[in-house]
Structure 1
Amino acid sequence: MKILVLKGSPHKNGSSNLLADEFIKGAKENNHQIEEFDVAHANIKPCLGCDHCGMNGPCIQKDDMASLKEKILESDMLVFVTPLYYFGMSAQLKLVIDRFYSFNGRLTSKPIKSVLIAAAWNQADDTMDDLLTHYRTICNYLDFDNQGEILGLGCGTVSMTRNTVYLKQAYQLGKKI
């Protein structure tokens, strides 16, 4: 299976990417083809809502989304990786999802699996509720087959994350894919 990991953290060596790396390790052991794309450091502009694309054509903007779009459409699975910022995904990852608009029809017509990996400082049980609802709504809207979520509570720093069960959970999820 071709898996595209969309890393949405501005911190290249942060907790959410650490969790993603464990997922990748498990998935590679199952001989899946993994590609990582650092959306947080790519040149991706926000959707203008201009409707030039008509939801199924070229976007008027010329940025890294054109190459990312092709990678997405060639993939069997998307892994959304984000730190939790104010109870939602990072703005960098949200930019990419908003830009799905230009190829919405192609996304919904292709069977795509997905996973969410998120890290939060807070440990309260309801910390990830809004992010989880948003992610699942995106999956429902785009007909993505959600394969699971790793919601790392108490993962505010890499050292905090290393002392949680979430690294093992991320590895195991990657291994079972």
Structure 2
Amino acid sequence: MAKKILGFVGSKRRLGNSDVLVRTVLSKCADMEAEVEIIYLDELDIRICRGCLACAFKGACVQKDDMTELISKMLKADGLVIAAPTYLFSPSGIIKTMIDRALMMSSYLDEVDISRPAVSITVAGNKLWNPLGVEFLNQFCFAFGFSVIDYLEAYAPGPGEVTLNDDSMVSAEQLGVKLLDPEAKRRQPDGYQCPVCFSRCVRISDKDNAQCAFCLTESSIKEDRLEVKENQESFWTPDHRKRHLAEWIFVTKDRFMENRQQIKENLSKFRNK
């Protein structure tokens, strides 16, 4: 059976750099006899998370938009490629909007196969102005049940200008090959990147220890790298997410219900102001 690879474009510009690079990845996958589908996220009805936790408590989001169908597509996919432009230090807003909705995955954690590969492509005018492109796009992949095996940073200011950059175009093709090659080696983290999600954003707890700000994995700070501590796992593993539900989200309901009347009274003074 042919493998199914999804391609997400987080840009409104058709034939822009993000679109071209996702198409390049998917074209290579199609050449290798995979079934491919490209999805333009701006064409979907994706609403802002309400923070009501209904998806966790009741098993379904109360908002009737395209997220449920999109999650169904992702659960059936064998691999994922996502690209988005950076306009001001981080990817386009639709990426964060969808990450905020990832609690909807609570109902599907037993179905998630986190061995499925994903690759991300961050596009910007220059590296200096793109400090969080890799981080947010990789978090997107992990949040929806994939494991990032590689990523591409492509720098091209003008629409479609990436086609003039042979290195970026070849790298995109190689990402397509990597998505379908079961023997492909996972990219090695550079310098002080998180060994799990490749984030370069860490919280330093002391001179010897750090915690990734995007997957919460704790690492020891070595001379030239971060090294994951023993018995550590990413927040995005199904087991960790189940514990988060059981030990934090579900227990907050009882506390809230106990104090509901007092909260209602406290809020009354803010009404009609």
How high is the TM-score relative to the length of structure 1?
A: 0.86
1:172 counterpart residue number: 174
1:78 counterpart residue number: 80
1:110 counterpart residue number: 113
From 119, 143, 146, the equivalent of 1:144 is 146
Deviation at 1:70, TM superposition (A): 0.8
Higher relative contact order (CA 8 A, sep 6+): 1
CA deviation string 1:86-113 (max 9, x = no partner):
1211112222222121114625842232
Structure 1 unpaired stretches of 5+:
none
1:163 counterpart residue number: 164
Q: Distance in 2 between matches of 1:56 and 1:147?
A: 33
Q: Distance in 2 between matches of 1:102 and 1:55?
A: 10
Deviation at 1:85, TM superposition (A): 2.1
Distance change in 2, residues 1:56/1:131 (3 Å): farther
| SS class of match (1:54) | helix
**Contact kept? 2:10, 2:83, Cα under 8 Å:** yes
Q: Distance in 2 between matches of 1:147 and 1:72?
A: 17
**Contact kept? 1:5, 1:80, Cα under 8 Å:** yes
Q: Once superposed, what is the RMSD of the aligned Cα atoms?
A: 2.2
How high is the TM-score relative to the length of structure 2?
A: 0.58
2:59 counterpart residue number: 57
Deviation at 1:143, TM superposition (A): 6.1
Rg larger for: 2
Distance change in 2, residues 1:66/1:8 (3 Å): same
Deviation at 1:136, TM superposition (A): 4.1
Query: Comparing 164-173 with 54-63, which one deviates more in the overlay?
Result: 54-63
Identity %: 28
**Contact kept? 2:10, 2:41, Cα under 8 Å:** yes
